[in-house]
Structure 1
């Protein structure tokens, strides 16, 4: 899932809104027993290769001995756990536009191809803000900062001096000329703090938070000619201990173009129904629940319910703003499909909900039952929150997200394979598969 606050701003298709939503050894689809059903070849080498041949490229397969994949049910949570392990352990963190994200896309494409889908990898680009600002004390490992909006970018190495809260008399007493000034947050606006240091000849400014935690600052309409970065208050003691020592400030931020990709698996000539999940993660963690669990569940449902008219979608770059689903909708306008089921976090049940189109939600609840023996209910995301179903709803297609609910570990290093609860995952998988099976019957599909 994505969140706008405190993580980042997001964009809806065709309009700006805010909302929520979750390297290693070569990866390959988990081996399974041979059956008489149709099979397809997938190799470990294929699973490590990302598509780089343009906006729409066919998934390739290799010539090594293939595993075989039965193309019918019932759903098997062990298969889901195998996919989940590849994505969150073997590949690991899958940030938008990264090589691990591309490896994950190729793995998903190969799995879908093995399951009998015509599979393509569709690349897309979008502009994204970045901030690689940092402070380095001597030869220590740099720690992250945040560029203060309106300050200059650049890299400066000099002696660190104490500028208090940035009052003119404090700056004068610190003899800041030719040095880097450490200031505490508070007392004066950021623009005034930095102007006082700049006027006194400082080379850069570090503003440390007055409490634990990071922050972002801005100079408003003003501009500074020296770099200035904001630092987590948890670093205050270490920075004060470095007064009089050489430190390096690197203020680096701006906008760059990110290239990501969606995986599209199609059965038949026309998409009558969509199932989807985002497969990227934040950089801070391996994204097991958010959203390797949703992707792995979607792959298993695609295996069991594969029928003409079902299209399985895996979205890149969801964590940075639903960019993958927006790109798909912009290219395909949701086609002739009748509904879209999105799966986002399936591995830890805590207030499991269906979010989105009311009519579709009620249809699903009618299929799976509304009794106390199953956890799903109609619900809404918190403020500033959503998931990829929103992109489809924006063009009028009934769409929902099915989620196991709250998980405080998402977007952190604690969102691991080991933290996923297999029993919860099995429950959500079974419910999701029942919902899909019931909705396919409304289209005359199995």
Structure 2
């Protein structure tokens, strides 16, 4: 049941039934409980409690939630209406599973977001065309015009027909104010700033261009893949008219979503938490980051709602992680010490389903670099499932919500599929418009992640 004191009600309870039929669906896993998993060293050696988890988990069910989050809703920017839609949907599902569900609100910074529309339908429509808007540009407007590429903003080559156009240029922060002023003086109706390419496998994300004050036209910052596609289109068509719209989102409130079911030990007993973050960055649908960790948490909440545990179970989806772990840090700050002392383990899941082939290592990431109850439990599950050789860690790394808990002494870790050389080797669609189900989600990796975390969390909570 949901605690509604001071909280909005849910609006997307039935959305899972109306997901987009056109999604390119990844292949679903087809193994039975005792089958050797892809990439595993040996057949699983499951105990009867493990079987209660793995026999019920469904990556296809999780996929339906992911379609709602990354396609029906799309980018879920902290504090905006899109993030709130996602919070309402998640809370409604936890309600259905029988948890006492709360939204925990907290304030976040203003956001400035742009949308690109292709008037002629030339640009690919299988990725996101959201971008960042400059806070110092013209906001809450929509402009339309043909694209004119002037090259680098530091040394633009201006064509004669700039008036009425949308100008694109390779961005340099120091050159922005003078370049935007010149574009406006020449009659441009808008500016699209293009980021420098990053070193593979990283790709530049959409950005909110800073350093402008009261620019008379909208100015937006796109992602590396959007830059490439716009320039490729300009190379083969005579005209590429675009419409860009900007919007300021102010006085924002983000939310954590937390579902709880009390264990046999009662109100003062231990707590085991499974978590992910449900927001995404500007310009990214967030299918893997971190829609995958969100739907893992939701599917485990469904399966574990039927199981008898000694510990209280909490399933948490954090808001505004992408802005600096704001939601989880707010949550931890509200916990009195006697509540912090009840936590046995927090299993954080951030990017657990990428389809990027080189992401063959399952990283166990600890903010302290040391082992704890959470890391030990997942290590033990990996041994039983045959995945020990693919697991590395614990390795010292923060940068996700486990850090908020470890900063105050709560046993926690983040779990994630990444490149084998380093946990910093993230897939190319990371934080990009290509972080979609079709381009960046493997249901096999999602299923394995659910099995690892589910069996570990149940083993920790059961006794």
Scaled by the length of structure 1, what TM-score is found?
0.64
Higher-Rg structure is: 1
* Residue equivalent to 2:233: 238
Q: CA deviation at 1:133?
A: 1.7
Q: Is the 8 A contact 1:92 1:286 kept in 2?
A: yes
Which moved further from structure 2: 389-398 or 242-251?
Answer: 242-251
Equivalent-residue separation in structure 2 for 1:279 and 1:430 (angstroms)? 18
SS in 1 for 2:322: coil
Scaled by the length of structure 2, what TM-score is found?
0.62
Give the alignment partner of residue 278 of structure 1, picking from 276, 279, 282. 276
2:370 is equivalent to residue 329 of structure 1: no
* Residue equivalent to 1:24: none
Equivalent-residue separation in structure 1 for 2:298 and 2:274 (angstroms)? 7
The change in CA–CA distance for 1:328 and 1:419 in structure 2 (over 3 A counts) is same
Equivalent-residue separation in structure 1 for 2:456 and 2:205 (angstroms)? 44
CA offset digits 1:357-393 (Å, max 9, x no partner): 52515754786697995424423376xx533222222
Instruction: Please show how residues 372-383 of structure 1 align to structure 2 within 5 Å.
Output: 373-375=386-388, 376-380=391-395
Equivalent-residue separation in structure 1 for 2:206 and 2:449 (angstroms)? 39
* Residue equivalent to 2:23: none
The change in CA–CA distance for 1:270 and 1:131 in structure 2 (over 3 A counts) is same
Give the alignment partner of residue 227 of structure 1, picking from 204, 218, 231. 218
Structure 1's unaligned 5+ residue stretches are 1-45, 62-71, 114-118
CA offset digits 1:304-324 (Å, max 9, x no partner): 3522x4231222426534444
- What is the count of residue pairs matched by the alignment? 370
Q: Is the 8 A contact 2:53 2:454 kept in 1?
A: no
Q: CA deviation at 1:126?
A: 2.8
Equivalent-residue separation in structure 2 for 1:404 and 1:436 (angstroms)? 21
Equivalent-residue separation in structure 2 for 1:325 and 1:146 (angstroms)? 25
RMSD: 4.6
Q: CA deviation at 1:235?
A: 0.3
Equivalent-residue separation in structure 2 for 1:199 and 1:92 (angstroms)? 40
CA offset digits 1:201-250 (Å, max 9, x no partner): 54433445676966547463765333223442320243577777865443
The change in CA–CA distance for 1:103 and 1:264 in structure 2 (over 3 A counts) is same
Instruction: Please show how residues 256-267 of structure 1 align to structure 2 within 5 Å.
Output: 256-267=251-262
Structure 2's unaligned 5+ residue stretches are 14-48, 78-82, 124-128, 198-202, 420-425
Give the alignment partner of residue 121 of structure 1, picking from 102, 111, 118. 102
Q: CA deviation at 1:421?
A: 1.6
Equivalent-residue separation in structure 2 for 1:393 and 1:270 (angstroms)? 21
CA offset digits 1:166-205 (Å, max 9, x no partner): 689954x6254x5235243269822222222234454433
The change in CA–CA distance for 1:242 and 1:144 in structure 2 (over 3 A counts) is farther
Q: Is the 8 A contact 2:112 2:133 kept in 1?
A: yes
SS in 2 for 1:122: strand
* Residue equivalent to 2:143: 156
Q: CA deviation at 1:108?
A: 1.8
Q: Is the 8 A contact 1:73 1:303 kept in 2?
A: no
Give the alignment partner of residue 87 of structure 2, picking from 101, 111, 117. 101
Q: Is the 8 A contact 2:365 2:394 kept in 1?
A: yes
SS in 2 for 1:421: helix
2:315 is equivalent to residue 313 of structure 1: yes
